[in-house]
Structure formats: C-alpha cells, structure tokens
C-alpha cells in the first residue's frame, strides 16, 4: 500500500483541525527543535507498542522525522498494525523549518549536551545513557605530554566528565613537535595548567583536575584512587611498573601506551578486576629492559605524529571501557610501525606465578621502582 505523503504546510493545517502529529526522531534530535504541538516518540518505541500512544485506530495520524525517511517507514508499520488514516510529512522537520512553520524547544532540555554530543547520541552503542556514563566518568592520566596530549583532547571532546592530570613538568619548546596540548605562548607554564587551558577551551563541560606532581608510591593512590580508568602516558619504566602495581591493588583498568622513534605499542591491563584471566604489565614484562635496549625519546628521538596515533588509540580503549562496548585490548599487545604503516598484534596470557596479580596472592607492597628499573 502506498503511503500518503503531505507537505509540512498541509500537515500543519490538518494538525490544527485535530490530527495528531508525532515526531518519531530520537530524543537528542528533538532537543534541537520540533514542530509546535508535535508529540515526541522515537520510531522504535512507537512501532514496538503503538497502542500506548495511539489507542484509536481511526484517529488521523501524521508522522514527521528529520527528512521524511523514518516517518514513511513508521507510517507503513502503523498501517500494517491496522491504523487507517496515516500520512508522512515530506521533507520532515528540516523542510518544516525552511517553510518557517512554528518550532518549539522541549522544556528542561540541555541544548549544549544534545548539540555537542549529537554524533555520539546517534550511535545505538552510545546513545544518551552511554553519554551520561561518559559524563559521570573519572579518568586519571599520568603524563600530559606526547601520549597524554592527543588522548586528553579526544577524551575531553568525547565528554568524559573529569580528567585528572598528573605531570610535574613545564612546557618546553622541544615538546611542541608532538605535544599538541601546548603552544609557544605557554612555554615555561606547568603542563597541567597548559592542558587545563586547552581542554577547557575545547569543552568547558569537562572538569580538569591538574596535579603538578611526579607520581610516586606515596601519592599514586591519592591520584588514581577514584578513577574509573587509568591512562599511562608516562615516559619511563619506573612509573609504568608503579602504575601497574597500583592498578592491580586498587582494581583499576590500565590503558598502556609507549612510543620510540617510529614505533609504538598499546595494551590494556585489567588484572586488578579479573585475576587469573586478564594479565598485568608484569605478566608481559616481568623485568625491565636495560637502558641500552630501551633509550628514552630524548635520547633516541620520536616521530612527532607517532604519539598522536598511539594516544588516540589509548583514548579509544578508555571510552570502550567506560561504555562497556567492544573488545578491549586485554591480553593483546598492539604494535604500530609508522614506517611500514603496519599493525601487529601479539597475544599473551596472565602469568599464574606473577608476583603482583597471581590469583590469591596478597599485594606485595610498593618497591623502589627506580632502583628496580636501573638494575640496582
């Protein structure tokens, strides 16, 4: 059966004479403005139980969406459900707006929220509930440098409610080749303050808590204790082992990343929440490499765009963990070779004899991580 399509002007005329106008867009779309007098109900909800909204099968029903496609499909579903007087508004709300017909803003709508995150809200895997989870989340980031810069930008843009940044360094001109949070004008400013300025300008809804501190055994639990996810943007092995041990003890997922020269790697360590199933950093690297085998970036250099790739992937893993979607990189080490433009994945398992995360093993306590990593 052909679906009757009508212009917005005709829909308005019929509405004023008693027809019901239903806006079948999602709530975040309706938040940006809907036809005056329309009843908002998402298409899926309407089709699942039309009688709760339309008890009278003989009522005249007009359906409107954004452009006309969804309303036509909803009209077809209503006709198949026994409704006799159904029409779809051609051109939808966009044409209604273009024709200067009256629009209203739903009451008690956070317009900034719905505009800013509209592309997330359109994803069924995220939606409003997922976006609210991001808004309520707290992510602790150690390092506001090469990895922390892109990761923080994307997490702030995504709407993570609170970012805790810990970094004791100040902005140096040599940072600007890769640490995109910072600018020439903010040289000599503490990195956490420079980051706060940049991230607040991008998304003022995000709360930035900056700590100009070097993370140690004495302050690690204070800095990450309330976090939902911890992101490792450190540039040395001592901090990585410290973060790993603290996250195992506190039951926090740790998103790891590292870069050097033209190569980077990323993984998720979640042994604190999944003992014996998900490995920790020590399961993969029981002993730190020698200084000769793993020089730092200041000695060996790093391609400026490389931290952007790895930091972006870290942010992706953080968002997935908060939303509980997809498959995290737990038990998988993803390596990236920028020169070959190639990713390689290595799978690894939890070490049943791991000194930190073995099932049933009590936390052994923090150690002198600098001495451990120097071989002293």
Of the listed 283, 297, 357, 373, which one is catalytic? 297
Q: How far is CA 374 from CA 258, 260, 301, 329, 368, in A?
A: 18, 19, 21, 29, 10
Residue 335, beta-bridge partner list:
265, 344
Beta strand spans in the chain (E): 4-6, 20-23, 34-35, 39-40, 60-64, 85-89, 103-104, 138-142, 162-166, 207-211, 229-232, 254-260, 263-269, 332-337, 342-347
Return d(Cα 206, Cα 162) in angstroms, integer.
6
Which residue, among 183, 203, 189, 169, has the nearest Cα to 298 in the 3D structure? 169
Quick one: 135 exposed, middle or buried, by C-beta within 10 A (0-12, 13-18, 19+)? middle
Cβ neighbour number for residue 327 with a 10 Å cutoff: 8
- Tokens encoding 71: 């309303």
Cβ neighbour number for residue 29 with a 10 Å cutoff: 21
3-state SS class at 87:
strand
State how beta strands 103-104 and 34-35 pair. antiparallel
297 belongs to the catalytic site:
yes
Return d(Cα 167, Cα 114) in angstroms, integer.
33
Quick one: 257 exposed, middle or buried, by C-beta within 10 A (0-12, 13-18, 19+)? buried
**Residue 10 CB contacts under 8 Å (≥ 6 apart), including other chains:** none
Q: For residues 2-17, b (16+ Cβ closer than 10 Å) or e, as one string?
A: ebebbebeebbebbee
- Tokens encoding 151: 């990761």
Cβ neighbour number for residue 273 with a 10 Å cutoff: 14
Q: What angle do CA 64, 67, 70 make, to 5 degrees?
A: 60
Catalytic residue set: 297
């Amino acid at each position: 059966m052909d679906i009757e399509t009508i212009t917005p002007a005709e829909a308005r005329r019929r509405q004023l004479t008693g027809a019901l106008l239903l806006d079948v867009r999602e709530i975040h779309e309706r938040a940006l403005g809907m036809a005056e007098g329309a009843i908002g109900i998402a298409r899926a909800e309407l089709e699942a139980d039309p009688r709760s909204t339309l008890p009278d099968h003989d009522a005249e029903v007009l359906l409107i969406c954004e452009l006309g496609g969804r309303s036509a499909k909803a009209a077809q579903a209503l006709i198949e459900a026994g409704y006799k007087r159904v029409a779809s508004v051609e051109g939808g709300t966009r044409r209604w707006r273009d024709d200067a017909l009256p629009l209203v803003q739903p009451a008690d709508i956070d317009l900034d929220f719905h505009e800013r995150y509209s592309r997330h809200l359109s994803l069924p895997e995220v939606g409003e509930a997922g976006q609210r989870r991001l808004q309520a989340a707290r992510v602790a980031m150690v390092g506001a440098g090469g990895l922390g810069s892109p990761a923080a930008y994307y997490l702030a843009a995504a709407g993570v409610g609170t970012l805790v940044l810990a970094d004791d360094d100040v902005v140096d001109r040599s940072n600007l080749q890769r640490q995109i949070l910072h600018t020439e004008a903010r040289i000599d400013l503490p990195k956490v303050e420079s980051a706060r300025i940049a991230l607040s300008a991008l998304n003022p809804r995000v709360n930035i808590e900056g700590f100009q501190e070097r993370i140690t055994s004495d302050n690690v639990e204070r800095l990450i204790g309330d976090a939902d996810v911890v992101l490792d943007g450190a540039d040395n092995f001592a901090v990585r082992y410290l973060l790993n041990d603290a996250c195992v003890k506190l039951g926090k997922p740790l998103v790891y990343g590292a870069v050097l020269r033209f190569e980077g790697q990323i993984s998720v360590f979640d042994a604190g929440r999944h003992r014996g199933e998900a490995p920790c950093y020590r399961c993969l690297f029981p002993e730190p490499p020698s200084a000769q085998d793993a020089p730092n970036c200041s000695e060996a250099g790093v391609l400026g765009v490389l931290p952007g790739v790895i930091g972006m992937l870290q942010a992706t893993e953080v968002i997935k963990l908060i939303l509980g979607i997809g498959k995290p990189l737990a038990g998988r080490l993803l390596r990236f070779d920028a020169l070959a433009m190639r990713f390689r994945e290595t799978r690894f398992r939890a070490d049943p004899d791991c000194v930190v995360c073995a099932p049933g093993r009590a936390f052994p306590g923090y150690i002198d991580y600098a001495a451990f990593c120097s071989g002293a």
